[in-house]
Amino acid sequence: MDHTIGVLALQGDVREHLAVLTRLGERAIAVRRPAELASVDGLIIPGGESTTMIKLAKIFELYEPLRARIRDGLPTFGTCAGMILLADRIEGGAVGQETLGGLDITVRRNAFGRQVDSFEGDLPLTGLDEPVHAVFIRAPWVEAVGDGVEVLARVPADPARGAAAGRIVAVRQGSLMATSFHPEVGGDARVHELFVDLVRRARAERPTDHETKRD
């Protein structure tokens, strides 16, 4: 194994993501400092409270380094609040709420918590042969995507889902990936495996030191 995957460890479901990565045999570390961020080849931004995570990122001097690494192509996977932090645009956010950005999407904050009941259920997702059991807890959904964003999953278009029916809940754009739901809950590691594949591909495509010096 020649890569390390970090989990942003400011607040939220940090241990759960680390446990899934460890179960997959990945080298995983908690990221709280710029030096730890600099050492990883991929990063998971977990669920939690998005405004609190931004405030703590600034306190720990991680906000600008995170923005820079994401902008430079660090494979990053945001879940629930992590999706909000990766979004370029927010609806229903706190006044002046900031994000890290990178994903050309508009998310609605707390869409499942304030507009419809939180729920869980089986969800077809691009790249998986069988549906994933998705758990939504006060989750966002995606209101709109840019041209370069691939939609990976939507809530089934079932009238029983009310306002959630048909909503986008998983996306991918280049080396960035995000889900409204919590894939670290329930013991199904396949969504994490999709992200690990992103990390491996990015690592394989990275120029070697020899190539960099030659150029």
Tens of pLDDT, residue by residue over 71-81, are 999 999 999 99
Give pLDDT, residue 196. Answer: 97
Concerning whether 80 is annotated as a catalytic residue, the answer is yes
Q: Does the structure show a pLDDT above 90 at 182?
A: yes
Mean of pLDDT values over 183-196: 94
Mean of pLDDT values over 44-54: 94
Instruction: Please give the tally of structural domains in the chain.
Output: 1
Containing structural domain, residue 41? 5-214
Mean of pLDDT values over 159-176: 88
Concerning whether 184 is annotated as a catalytic residue, the answer is yes
Give pLDDT, residue 157. Answer: 85
Catalytic residue among 26, 36, 91, 184: 184
Give pLDDT, residue 203. Answer: 86
CATH number for the domain that contains residue 142: 3.40.50.880
Catalytic residue among 91, 130, 150, 182: 182
List, for residues 123-153, the tens digit of each pLDDT value: 999 999 999 999 888 889 999 999 999 999 9
Concerning whether 182 is annotated as a catalytic residue, the answer is yes
Catalytic residue among 80, 120, 130, 193: 80
**Residues 6 or more apart from 166 whose CB is under 8 A from it?**
154, 155, 156, 157
Q: How many other CB atoms are there within 10 angstroms of residue 176's CB atom?
A: 22
The total number of residues shown for the chain amounts to 215
pTM above 0.75, yes or no: yes
Q: Does the structure show a pLDDT above 80 at 1?
A: no
Burial 81-92 (b: 16+ CB within 10 A, else e): bbbbbbbeebee
Nearest to 177 by CA among 66, 41, 77, 47: 77
Q: Does the structure show a pLDDT above 60 at 163?
A: yes
